[in-house]
Chain A
Amino acid sequence: MRAFTGSRIKPYYLLGVVGMMLAWEFSAVSLPGIVPRLAAVGSSLLLLAQTGELWRQLGVSLQRSLTGLSFGAALGLLLGTAAGLWKPAYYFFKPLMGTLLSSPAVVVVMLAMVWFGVGSFMPVFVTALFTVPVMYVSVVEGMELVDAEVLEMAAVFRISRWALWWNIYLPALATAVLTGLAFAAGTAFRKTIMAELLGSNDGIGYAMAMTRFNLDVARLFAWVAICLCVGVVVQRLFVKPVASYLRKWRDVNSESGVVHE
């Protein structure tokens, strides 16, 4: 992870990448017909890019995950702020958030398929629903960091409610929203892909499901490579900068910040 953000690329990281490629090529040669050669995956990828399929499906999936992410984040922010300010609200939402956080996404996908059928709304709904607890937890934790002593001091000095919000709560909230968005961005894309794969008629997930019927492993690998690229971009552009920024303030573990399938 530090290889790209650091000043130099570590030699053993590159060795690891080369080793992975070699292991892949070796298994492709020793398991012909099961594991596709790297070259076959490359040409599949090229074909997807040339026919425009890649950009079309990527656009559909990205749009869905962004829509779900924004709706879920807005709701999570709202509920999280309420829970952060007023402790009873925190306990009120605890059972719901606990259930959401520990329930398998696949079950929710099945429910959503029954409710909304196969279409664009279903993946957006699933993505939004699983963004809510991530944002909620981040906001609640962020508000907890607002020092009780600072609040006491503010009360002693009779700081106006407006000034309190502007100078104390808002900065804490902004950081929390940033963290929540960074963590949720990665999960949102996965949730969209999962929902599309199980029940949609377009998007990357759907394209992957199609390779199952065509038994086109090389094309599936090509789509996986595209997902990896999106994941790496999200990780490097959002999660890592936010995590390293936050590490100055508190111990944040970006790997296990959000643990979801």
Chain B
Amino acid sequence: MSNFWNARKVLPFLWMATGVVAFTVVWQLMSNSYGPLLVATPSETMVAVTRLLTSPATLAAFARTLGRVLLALGLQIVSGVASGVLAGLYPWVEDLLRPVIDALVAVPPVALTLLVILMFGSGDYQVAATALALGFPLLYTGTVRAVRSVDRSMLEMFRAFRLPRTTQLLVGYLPATLYALIPSILLATGLTLRLVVMAEVMVGGGSGIGQSLSEARVHMATAEIFAWLLVMAATVLMIEGTLLYLVKSHLLKWQARR
């Protein structure tokens, strides 16, 4: 019991709860002064959240968006790791790809999305392609850094035992790289969800969360917009939390084995 009431552990949560309560109160006050049409009340928003999470139509939109996110994320990982390993091993490949990465990092995502829509139309693959292009630099740079940080002594051992290059790559580089990549994948997941929703909003007339949002804006249904905002923030936090948990438990096992 004394362990549970450890002030060091409980106080942060208490303060966070105070924060949540305080912002809810401020939110309610704003809603009172500006009217529920412009600022939906917290309770209206909670009703909208439960509606979103129970109605089949919005769940389908949610699933559609998540499907696109997973497609884009998978493509990001495959292309990012493949090119990142090459660039990590051969510096000239890194120099060669540098302009592409520079351009992708500097371009405003909305602009790229608009370009894709204007040139290739709108659809599942176009949305995923946009998210792929914009999330790719993150995984690429993560992989390059991971490859560079592969244990030197292990590589020397590989060389001493004259293991073939493919074995070196599969047994040495790939596991270590994938492992070091986990933080980048975490960052990329949240980014990709936001990118996909943005692309969906811009495509217009499609499906997914973005479409529901556009409809909500047209109807000035602020409760619905707030609800999507909360649901999406919670989703991102949940994905990151789960992955973080997996990483931690895996890390402990991995370290124990060594």
- In the complex, the chain B residue whose C-beta lies closest to that of A110 is B217
Using C-beta atoms within 8 Å of the partner chain, give the interface range for chain A. 35 or more
A211 at the interface (CB under 8 A from B): yes
Q: Complex: how many Å from CA A12 to CA B216?
A: 49
A42 at the interface (CB under 8 A from B): no
List of A residues within 8 angstroms of B217 by Cβ: 110, 113-114
Interface SS, A side: helix
A139 at the interface (CB under 8 A from B): no
Q: Are B110 and A193 touching (Cβ within 8 A)? A: yes
Q: Complex: how many Å from CA A116 to CA B137?
A: 35
Q: Are A94 and B111 touching (Cβ within 8 A)? A: no
Rounded to whole Å, the gap between the CB of A259 and the closest CB of chain B is 5
Q: Quick check: which of B46-54, B55-63, B157-165, B221-229 contacts chain A, the rest being far away?
A: B221-229
Q: Are B187 and A16 touching (Cβ within 8 A)? A: no
Rounded to whole Å, the gap between the CB of B94 and the closest CB of chain A is 8
Rounded to whole Å, the gap between the CB of A241 and the closest CB of chain B is 16
- Which of A96, A220, A261 makes the CB contact (< 8 A) with B194? A261
List of A residues within 8 angstroms of B147 by Cβ: none
Q: Complex: how many Å from CA A10 to CA B194?
A: 35
Q: Complex: how many Å from CA A13 to CA B100?
A: 10
B206 at the interface (CB under 8 A from A): no
Q: Complex: how many Å from CA A205 to CA B198?
A: 15
Q: Complex: how many Å from CA A221 to CA B118?
A: 11
The listed residue with most B CB atoms (<10 A of its CB), out of A11, A92, A98, is A92
Q: Are A107 and B197 touching (Cβ within 8 A)? A: yes
A35 at the interface (CB under 8 A from B): yes
- In the complex, the chain A residue whose C-beta lies closest to that of B201 is A106
List of A residues within 8 angstroms of B120 by Cβ: 34
A91-B16, A261-B195 known; A96+B23 contact, CB < 8 A: yes
Rounded to whole Å, the gap between the CB of A3 and the closest CB of chain B is 7
Q: Are A107 and B225 touching (Cβ within 8 A)? A: yes
Q: Are B233 and A259 touching (Cβ within 8 A)? A: no
Interface string of A18-55 (1 = CB under 8 A from B): 01100000000000001100000000000000000000
Q: Are B228 and A107 touching (Cβ within 8 A)? A: yes
List of A residues within 8 angstroms of B145 by Cβ: 253
Rounded to whole Å, the gap between the CB of B91 and the closest CB of chain A is 8
Q: Complex: how many Å from CA A22 to CA B236?
A: 39
B247 at the interface (CB under 8 A from A): no
Q: Are A114 and B98 touching (Cβ within 8 A)? A: no
Q: Complex: how many Å from CA A227 to CA B233?
A: 28
A114-B217, A261-B134 known; A16+B95 contact, CB < 8 A: yes
Q: Complex: how many Å from CA A228 to CA B201?
A: 23
List of A residues within 8 angstroms of B71 by Cβ: none
A194-B108, A220-B114, A261-B191 known; A91+B19 contact, CB < 8 A: yes
Rounded to whole Å, the gap between the CB of B146 and the closest CB of chain A is 12
- In the complex, the chain B residue whose C-beta lies closest to that of A189 is B108
Q: Are A19 and B96 touching (Cβ within 8 A)? A: yes
Interface string of A101-121 (1 = CB under 8 A from B): 011111110110111000000
- In the complex, the chain B residue whose C-beta lies closest to that of A9 is B95
Q: Complex: how many Å from CA A217 to CA B111?
A: 11
Rounded to whole Å, the gap between the CB of B166 and the closest CB of chain A is 26
List of A residues within 8 angstroms of B11 by Cβ: 88, 91
B73 at the interface (CB under 8 A from A): no
B232 at the interface (CB under 8 A from A): yes
Q: Are A227 and B114 touching (Cβ within 8 A)? A: no
Q: Are B229 and A256 touching (Cβ within 8 A)? A: no
Q: Are B106 and A260 touching (Cβ within 8 A)? A: no
- In the complex, the chain B residue whose C-beta lies closest to that of A108 is B229
- Which of A212, A215, A232 makes the CB contact (< 8 A) with B106? A232
Q: Are B19 and A256 touching (Cβ within 8 A)? A: no
List of A residues within 8 angstroms of B77 by Cβ: none
Q: Complex: how many Å from CA A47 to CA B59?
A: 47
List of A residues within 8 angstroms of B198 by Cβ: 104-106, 194, 261
List of A residues within 8 angstroms of B109 by Cβ: 190, 194, 261
Query: Which B residues from 196 to 233 make CB contacts under 8 A with A?
Result: 197-198, 201-202, 210, 213-214, 216-217, 220, 222, 225-226, 228-230, 232-233
List of B residues within 8 angstroms of A137 by Cβ: none
- In the complex, the chain A residue whose C-beta lies closest to that of B197 is A104
- Contacts A20-B99, A105-B198, A228-B103 aside, 4 further interface pairs with beta carbons under 8 A come to A20-B100, A107-B225, A198-B202, A255-B138
A: residues with CB less than 8 A from B are: 1, 3, 10-13, 15-17, 19-20, 34-35, 87-88, 90-96, 98-99, 102-108, 110-111, 113-115, 186, 189-190, 193-194, 197-198, 205, 208-209, 211-212, 215, 217, 220-221, 223-224, 227-228, 231-232, 235, 253, 255-256, 259-261
11 A–B contacts, CB within 8 A, in A order: A3-B95, A3-B98, A12-B96, A15-B96, A99-B229, A104-B232, A105-B194, A110-B217, A197-B202, A259-B187, A261-B194
